[in-house]
């Protein structure tokens, strides 16, 4: 019988895995993708939508190519449960699917009740940490803010989705304010002790915005009040005009309730040679849902790379062969510091047999020296290429 792989989640990890399983098996393996959203909306570049420099339509793409060009069967539905023993996935409206191998790339969900006052109030206090309606909502609130207003951005303790993402957002919002509402301010409340990515570069850019960006480390949220848009810290209570809280997060719910091994109850532990959840045969997990290896970011680029390692290993395992004993993955994260100037960080991670996980390769990768428009062009090309790599 033909092998059947079910993929849950059509984001950076899942869509890439679905396409590459079909491409590399030359159509010999059946692939079903279960995705709750009708189309793909990219988090990368979404901060430019918040700043008013891009439209949501420009970061939205269809799943049609995966179906027509690659023969992936798409089920537009919610996966509700997994039975790893019986090798089945239950869905909300499309019945139960049997699989030979399962790929889970559900991204993140927010920790329930981590910030008292937040639950149920994401209209008043947007996160915009999943791209789509939330991105547009935050954009509208920024537009509606009066000159002289305070945009408060709260960053949770690491690890979180996209280490440079919040700092990029602070810069892009400040860029919009400098041009349109120069008496306003971006107040960055970081639960961490320092900037989590490209530290010296972001610190310099923040400085360049003069008083427009104020960065306050060690500022963990105690609670929020939606009615007054206030943030409660240990020693302070801050009223915001726009309150953008990125909540503490964990692996997507379908992964955390599937009985997979979790670090801190939040992130899935995998065998890095096959991307299988440790001790759970046949369930391969990718992307943001993972307990990361050393210095490995939760990024779209990295999820795309996990997907290729998993797709190759799955095809090996289905053929009764051993997987590649030394996979190498890489990452580049570009960050806009205004509407067109960009900085990047890059790294290469090679599987270390003794440590049984990918380790950053010394001397590979690196950082920008300064922000530049040339890198702005690279960043937009990177996005176009990775969207094509996963969907076209
Ligand atoms: P996702 O891409 O989130 O995909 C998960 C998918 O699973 C979603 O489509 C979801 O609807 C679906 N899903 C979840 N559960 C279910 C279920 N039960 N049933 C059906 N479907 C389900 N990364 C970069 O590399 N470069 C960048 O420049 C960059 N910029 C960013 C900027 C911002 C503002 C943010 C928020 C993130 C950014 N990232 C960037 C990070 C990147 O978006 C994530 O790392 C990436 O999306 C992770 O891929 P994933 O497959 O793990 O999850």
Q: Note the pLDDT of residue 258.
A: 94
Ligand 1: centre distance to CA 11 (Å): 5
Segment-wise mean pLDDT, segments of 10 residues, the chain, 392 residues: 96 98 98 98 98 98 98 98 98 98 98 95 98 98 98 97 98 98 98 97 97 97 98 96 98 96 97 98 97 97 98 98 97 98 98 97 96 98 98 98
Going by alpha carbons, the residue nearest to atom 12 of ligand 1 is 9
Q: Which positions ≥6 away from 162 have C-beta within 8 Å?
A: 43, 297, 298, 299, 333
Nearest atom in ligand 1 to the alpha carbon of residue 335 is 28
Residue 148 CB neighbour total at 10 angstroms: 11
Going by alpha carbons, the residue nearest to atom 29 of ligand 1 is 44
**Whole-angstrom distance, CA of residue 257 vs CA of residue 210:** 46
* Distance (Å) of CA 151 to CA 154, 167, 221, 366: 10, 13, 15, 32
Going by alpha carbons, the residue nearest to atom 18 of ligand 1 is 79
Q: Note the pLDDT of residue 227.
A: 97
Ligand 1: centre distance to CA 151 (Å): 25
**Whole-angstrom distance, CA of residue 60 vs CA of residue 43:** 10
Ligand 1: centre distance to CA 93 (Å): 23
Residue 23 CB neighbour total at 10 angstroms: 13
107 in contact with ligand 1, CB cutoff 6 A: yes
Q: Residue 293 corresponds to which tokens in the numbers above?
A: 């290896």
Going by alpha carbons, the residue nearest to atom 48 of ligand 1 is 300
Q: Note the pLDDT of residue 1.
A: 83
Q: Note the pLDDT of residue 363.
A: 94
105 in contact with ligand 1, CB cutoff 6 A: yes
């Amino acid at each position: 019988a033909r092998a059947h792989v079910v993929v849950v989640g059509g984001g950076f990890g899942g869509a890439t895995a679905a396409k590459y399983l079909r491409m590399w098996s030359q159509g010999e393996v059946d692939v079903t993708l279960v995705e709750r959203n009708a189309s793909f909306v990219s988090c990368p570049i979404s901060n430019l939508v918040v700043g008013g420099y891009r439209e949501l339509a420009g970061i939205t793409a269809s799943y049609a190519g995966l179906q027509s060009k690659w023969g992936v069967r798409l089920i537009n539905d919610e996966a509700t449960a997994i039975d790893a023993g019986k090798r089945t996935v239950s869905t909300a409206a499309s019945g139960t699917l049997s699989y030979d191998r399962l790929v889970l790339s559900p991204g993140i969900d927010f920790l329930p009740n981590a910030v008292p006052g937040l639950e149920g109030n994401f209209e008043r206090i947007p996160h915009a940490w999943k791209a789509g309606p939330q991105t547009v909502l935050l954009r509208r609130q920024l537009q509606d803010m009066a000159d002289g207003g305070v945009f408060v951005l709260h960053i949770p303790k690491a690890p979180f989705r996209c280490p440079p993402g919040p700092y990029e957002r602070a810069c892009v919002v400040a860029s919009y304010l400098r041009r349109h509402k120069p008496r306003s301010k971006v107040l960055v409340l970081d639960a961490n002790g320092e900037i989590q990515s490209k530290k010296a570069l972001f610190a310099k850019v923040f400085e360049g915005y003069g008083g427009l960006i104020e960065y306050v480390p060690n500022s963990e949220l105690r609670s929020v009040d939606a009615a007054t848009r206030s943030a409660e810290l240990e020693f302070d209570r801050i009223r915001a005009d726009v309150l953008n809280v990125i909540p503490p997060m964990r692996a997507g719910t379908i992964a955390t309730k599937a009985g997979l091994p979790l670090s801190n109850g939040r992130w899935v532990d995998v065998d890095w040679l096959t991307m299988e959840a440790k001790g759970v045969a046949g369930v391969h997990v990718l992307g943001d849902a993972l307990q990361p290896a050393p210095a490995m970011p939760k990024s779209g680029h990295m999820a795309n790379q996990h997907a290729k390692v998993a797709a190759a290993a799955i095809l090996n395992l289905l053929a009764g062969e051993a997987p590649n004993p030394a996979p190498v993955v890489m990452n580049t994260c570009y960050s806009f510091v205004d509407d067109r100037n960009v900085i990047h960080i890059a790294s290469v991670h090679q599987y270390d047999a003794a440590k049984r996980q990918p380790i950053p390769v010394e001397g590979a990768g690196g950082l920008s020296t300064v922000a530049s428009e040339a890198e702005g062009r690279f960043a937009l090309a990177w996005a176009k290429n990775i969207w094509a790599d996963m969907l076209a």
